[in-house]
């Protein structure tokens, strides 16, 4: 009998343990922790090249469509209600360059002109303008386009001026050939709005051709305030709103970017047979430069940098990094990219409380609250 009671007690204990195990719920994965495919950006809207976002507007520019949120007619207060426009995208669905995205206008490069459309009303042709450089330079041959993985192919300043790089023909031969000179056009735009309810209307005020830069290859473009920054193989130039050019750094910058309105660059310098990658900064709009960090990894020269919200973010392929600039150091934290693997990132933006990652294969979204989650190391 004692043996029988022992077995009965043991059976009850096992059953109780099983019941307690069943009662414990399994934790469900938080969908906000991984990147989710945006369902509005499939098929013809899938290939995305650039973006802009702030608290008022979000703009996603693809190879075949332009998408703007919120819907001005519906006055939507949600993050993901985009209006999609066709027929205003890159020529032939090109994915080799980044269109210019400004909160008031968007710029596309065609074979012989720049097409600018008003953000508030992209489908009405009367609100935009076309910039033909051949009208200002009879030797115009082609635009000098920076690859999308590096940055925008032409840039704007706060005066609504555009800096556009291009090549010319050398006509000293019987048959014109492409010149090795790197030239720039400074285009001044008029952005007018007759009433708060009316869309902005763009017009070309002036096209000014600038003297050629003595360099054969363009590396990067940037702007800060009223000024433009040009990085070429023989150094860095600062171009003023009046078109004057000044060489301000003797080494090329692989990347030029701004963060909190301060100008930064990643340089590649040579000394005593060795290569040194440095982080430099300028607090006077590119006149003088100061080294913040040296002996950096060469990988910093391959990243593309952009301010997203109040954070400096770098991107490469499907990877995202939070970048911290200290008084004498540059550090990165790789962010969680679950759901992004295999998708080549072209741009990142924050619109209200959501982060949008543009890729060549769709748009991916994640709440801002989980955006800076660090990637787990295996």
pLDDT digit string (tens) for 14-63? 444 444 444 545 555 566 679 999 999 999 899 999 999 988 889 999 98
**Is residue 5 over pLDDT 60?**
no
The answer to whether 133 touches 164, Cβ cutoff 8 Å, is yes
Length of the chain: 378
What is the Cα 21 distance to its own chain's centre?
50
pLDDT greater at residue 192 or residue 16: 192
Q: What residue segments make up the domains of the chain, in order of their start?
A: 107-213, 224-301
Q: Please report the pLDDT score of residue 16 as a whole number.
A: 45
Q: Are 169 and 139 in contact (CB under 8 A)?
A: yes
Residue 13 has pLDDT above 60, yes or no: no
With residues binned 3-state (H G I as helix, E B as strand, rest as coil), the percentages for the chain, rounded to 5, are: 10, 45, 40
- Does 70 sit behind a cis peptide bond, omega within 30 degrees of 0 on the bond before it? yes
Rg (C-alpha) for the chain, rounded Å, is 26
Residues 97 and 109: their CA atoms lie apart, in Å, by 9
pTM of the model: 0.88
Q: Under a CB-based contact definition with an 8 Å cutoff, are residues 128 and 180 in contact?
A: no
Q: How far apart are the first and last CA of the chain?
A: 55
Q: Where on the phi/psi map is residue 261: left (φ > 0), alpha (ψ -120 to 50), or beta?
A: left
Percentage of the chain beyond pLDDT 90 is 66
Taking a C-beta distance cutoff of 8 angstroms, is the pair 364, 50 a contact? no
Strand partners, 229: 222, 238
Query: Is the CB of residue 185 less than 8 Å from the CB of residue 142?
Result: no
Instruction: Say whether 22 sits in a helix, a strand or coil.
Output: helix
CA dihedral 208, 209, 214, 216 (to 10 degrees): 120
For 59-70, the pLDDT digits (tens) are 999 988 899 988
CA pair distance 320, 274, nearest whole angstrom:
29
Q: Between 84 and 237, whose confidence is greater?
A: 237
Instruction: Please give the average per-residue pLDDT across 250-257, as a whole number.
Output: 96
pLDDT of residue 320: 98
Q: Is the pLDDT of residue 212 over 50?
A: yes
């Amino acid at each position: 009998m004692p043996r029988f009671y022992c077995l009965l007690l043991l059976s009850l204990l096992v059953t109780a343990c099983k019941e307690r195990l069943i009662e414990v719920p399994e934790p469900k994965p938080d969908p906000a922790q991984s990147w989710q495919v945006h369902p509005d950006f499939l098929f013809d809207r899938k290939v995305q090249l650039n973006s802009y976002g702030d608290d008022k507007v979000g703009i996603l520019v693809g190879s075949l469509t332009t998408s703007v949120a919120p819907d001005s007619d519906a006055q939507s207060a949600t993050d993901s209600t985009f209006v999609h426009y066709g027929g205003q995208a890159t020529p032939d669905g090109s994915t080799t360059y980044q269109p210019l995205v400004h909160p008031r206008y968007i710029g596309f490069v065609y074979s012989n002109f720049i097409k600018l459309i008003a953000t508030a009303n992209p489908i009405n042709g009367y609100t935009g303008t076309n910039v033909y450089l051949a009208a200002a330079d009879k030797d115009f041959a082609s635009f000098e386009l920076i690859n999308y993985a590096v940055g925008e192919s032409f840039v704007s300043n706060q005066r609504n001026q555009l800096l556009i790089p291009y090549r010319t023909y050398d006509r000293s031969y019987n048959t014109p050939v492409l010149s090795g000179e790197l030239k720039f056009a400074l285009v001044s735009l008029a952005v007018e709005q007759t009433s708060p309810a009316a869309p902005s209307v763009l017009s070309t005020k002036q096209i000014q051709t600038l003297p050629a830069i003595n360099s054969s290859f363009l590396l990067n473009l940037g702007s800060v305030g009223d000024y433009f920054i040009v990085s070429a193989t023989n150094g860095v130039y600062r171009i003023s709103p009046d078109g004057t050019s000044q060489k301000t750094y003797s080494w090329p910058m692989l990347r030029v970017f701004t963060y909190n309105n301060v100008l930064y660059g990643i340089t590649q310098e040579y000394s005593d047979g060795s290569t040194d990658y440095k982080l430099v900064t300028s607090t006077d709009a590119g006149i003088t430069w100061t080294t913040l960090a040296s002996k950096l990894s060469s990988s910093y020269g391959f990243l593309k940098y952009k301010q997203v919200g109040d954070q400096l973010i770098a991107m490469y392929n499907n990877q995202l990094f939070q970048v911290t600039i200290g008084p004498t150091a540059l550090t990165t934290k790789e962010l969680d990219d679950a759901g992004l693997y295999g998708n080549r990132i072209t741009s990142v933006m924050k619109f209200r409380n959501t982060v949008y990652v543009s890729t060549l294969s769709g748009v991916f979204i994640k709440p801002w609250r989980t955006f800076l989650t660090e990637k787990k190391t295996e």
